[in-house]
Copies of this chain bind each other. A is one copy, B any other.
Amino acid sequence: MKTFLACVPCFVHQTLSASCMATDDVDVQTKVMRKVLEELSAIDFSCSPPEMAKTVHSLIREISGNSDPYAEIKHEYNQKALLLYPQLKEEVRNSKNPLETAVRIAIAGNYIDFGAFPEIDEIILHEIIENTLHQELAVNDMSLFVDALDKAERIFYLADNSGEIVFDRILIEELGADRVTCAVRGFPVLNDVTMKDAVETGLTDIVKVIGNGGDFPGTVLSKCSDEFRDEFNKADLVISKGQGNYETLSSVKKNNLFFLLKVKCKVIADNMGYKTGGSIFMKA
C-alpha cells in the first residue's frame, strides 16, 4: 500500500511524541523535527507508510542518540497486558467458541499502537476489548480460517506491538503453540514488539520466536532476513497482525494469509473500505 498525503500529519505527530520520549533536550527535539520535516518534504509516496516510518524513526533515534525511545512505554504496556492475561484467558475458557474469542481478543489488543495514537487510554482499551468480544466484525473470514487451520502444519504469526503481544499469546495458545512460529521486529521502532518484549511477556517460553531482521513497523519482505522469508514461504498459514503488517503485505501473493487488525485511521479505512474502529479478520 502506498503512502497517502493524510499519512504526513501522523508522521509529524510521531516525531513530536518520539523525540519527547527520546530526550528532554528541547534543542535536540527541535533538531529532530527540522530534519524529519526536511525528509518528509521530499517523501516518496510510492513507498508504504511503514517504509516512510522507518526513515522517520531512524532519524529520531540517530539524532537523539536514543536507540529505543519507546522502551519504557513498551515495558509499561507489556506489564499492563500481563495483568489482563488471566481475565482474557477466562473469556476464552468460558466461550462457546474459544477460537473465535481468541481471535477477537488478538484483534482488540491491536489498539495498543503508539504509531496511530499519541496516548493509549485504559478505559478505552477495556471498552475496545468488550466491544470486540461482542460486536460484529467488519470482516469475519472465520470459516476460511478454520479450514486453513485444520490443514496447517506450520503457522507463522507476525506480531505487531508490545502489550498487544500478550493478547496474541492467547490466540497462539488456541492455535496450538507447537506448530506456531512467531515473528517480531528485528530492531526497535515505535512501540513495535521485539525479542526483548517476547521474552518479557513469556512468549519465548511457549513458542519459537524469530526477529524479522528489519526495523520497519511492518513487514517489508525484501528487507527481511533469509530466516524470516524462509519461514514465511514454508508456512501453510500466516497470521498478520496490525495495520503496519497489512500496509506492507496487502499486495503479497501467499496462500492462507490472514490479516487481523483494528482499523485505526482514515487512510486505512478508505483503503480497505471499512470504518475507523472496525475489526478486521480477513483472508488476503
Contacts and interface: CB of A to CB of B under 8 A. Distances in A.
A8 interface: yes
Interface stretch (A29-37, A54-62, A96-104, A255-263): A29-37
A13 interface: yes
A69 to B, nearest CB: 15
A80 B8 CA distance: 32
Contacts of A145: none
Contacts of A29: 5
The list of the 7 closest CB pairs from A to B, nearest first, reads: A37-B41, A38-B41, A12-B12, A9-B12, A9-B13, A34-B41, A37-B37
A45 interface: yes
Contact of A12 (B8, B34, B38): B8
Contact of A9 (B16, B41, B45): B16
A218 B136 CA distance: 47
A42 to B, nearest CB: 7
Classify the secondary structure of A's interface with B: helix
A43 B34 CA distance: 8
A124 interface: no
Given A5-B26, A8-B16, A16-B5, A37 B40 contact: yes
A12 B5 CA distance: 10
Contacts of A43: 34
A167 to B, nearest CB: 29
Contacts of A37: 8, 37-38, 40-41
A123 interface: no
A12 B12 CA distance: 8
B12 A16 contact: no
Nearest to A45: B30
A252 interface: no
Interface in A167-226: none
A177 B5 CA distance: 46
A33 B16 contact: no
A6 interface: yes
B12 A30 contact: no
Interface string A96-135: 0000000000000000000000000000000000000000
